[in-house]
């Protein structure tokens, strides 16, 4: 079976609960401070590993206590960390989270998450991955690097899974290098200009992204479930009712689980495309090999 590789962020999350969000200049009482390993990339890697997928994390942390704790947490969850870089040039990424009534507000300091460049990421994939493996990435690392890695990994035969979060506009020439794009309602509005308030909206948004070149689309809809489009068929997935305590990493968990299920053949969203877009093909890059 294929393996799951995650190129993405690792942050130490400092999370505090409050009865309401503070106004500008206001200090309010908080409670239940939590210090937890996080970052979208690490969250997705842990979710995939806990679902049984052989998962490898490609990213960077600082040479500080938070970095060591993050590496240990990934290893404990079953994630391969041999391609996790340590840098003395930047601190480990940090997220400050305020949570209330199942909602949250997050402020990020990227730190070491911006340390890696595409050549270093592709060197790790050359050593450990092979065509048919999955690569998941987001936008909490250096954005031009992320776009470059997506394109080069796709051209090398990996199945590319793109989570455009935090959302920003992606160059149109990137989309043919994306086999599956997974995004939430807000990100959908930013990326394609259509917020999926209804099934018709979600269908139009998914078709818009596929028309740009993406192979398939998964849209998470919070308490309304999710929507999937494989380039041919639009499917609505009903939610599983739960009592939300903290929505942090809910979307990351969804994506990690989806990747694990695809990897073991339980679901197959990405259509097989017989060619790679020549506009993004690297000048010279061998197929990845298993190390």
252 has catalytic annotation: yes
Each residue of 159-203: pLDDT tens digit? 999 999 999 989 999 999 999 999 999 999 999 999 999 999 999
Each residue of 19-65: pLDDT tens digit? 999 999 999 999 999 999 999 999 999 999 999 999 999 999 999 99
Each residue of 219-262: pLDDT tens digit? 999 889 999 999 999 999 998 888 777 677 888 999 999 998 87
* Average pLDDT, integer, range 85-113: 92
Q: Which of 101, 148, 252, 277 is catalytic?
A: 252
Question: Which residues fall within 8 angstroms of residue 172, CB to CB, at 6 or more apart?
Answer: 212, 213
pTM given for the model: 0.85
- Torsion region of 64: left, alpha or beta (phi above 0 gives left; psi -120 to 50 gives alpha): beta
């Amino acid at each position: 079976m294929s393996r799951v590789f995650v190129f993405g962020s690792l942050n130490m999350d400092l999370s505090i609960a409050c009865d309401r969000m503070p106004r500008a200049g206001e200090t309010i009482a908080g409670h239940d401070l939590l210090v937890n390993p996080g970052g979208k990339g690490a969250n997705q890697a842990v979710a995939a590993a806990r679902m049984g997928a052989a998962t490898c994390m490609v990213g960077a942390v600082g040479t500080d206590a938070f970095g060591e704790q993050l590496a240990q947490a990934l290893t404990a969850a079953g994630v391969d960390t041999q391609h996790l870089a340590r840098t003395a040039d930047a601190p480990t990424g940090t997220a400050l989270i305020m949570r209330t009534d199942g909602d949250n507000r997050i402020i990020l300091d990227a730190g070491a998450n911006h340390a890696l460049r595409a050549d270093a990421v592709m060197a790790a994939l050359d050593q450990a991955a092979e065509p048919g493996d999955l690569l998941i990435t987001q936008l909490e690392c250096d954005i031009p690097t992320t776009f470059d890695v997506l394109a080069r990994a796709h051209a090398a035969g990996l199945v590319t899974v793109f989570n455009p979060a935090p959302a920003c506009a992606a160059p149109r020439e990137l989309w043919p290098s994306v086999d599956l794009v997974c995004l939430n309602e807000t990100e959908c509005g930013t990326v394609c200009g259509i917020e999926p308030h209804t099934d018709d909206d979600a269908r139009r948004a998914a078709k818009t992204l596929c028309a740009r070149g993406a192979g398939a689309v998964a849209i998470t809809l919070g308490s309304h479930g999710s929507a999937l489009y494989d380039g041919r068929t639009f499917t609505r997935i009903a939610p599983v009712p739960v009592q939300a305590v903290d929505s942090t990493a809910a979307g990351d968990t969804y994506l990690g689980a989806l990747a694990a299920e695809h990897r073991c053949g339980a679901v197959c969203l990405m259509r097989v495309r017989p060619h790679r877009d020549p506009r993004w093909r690297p000048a010279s890059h061998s197929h990845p090999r298993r190390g």
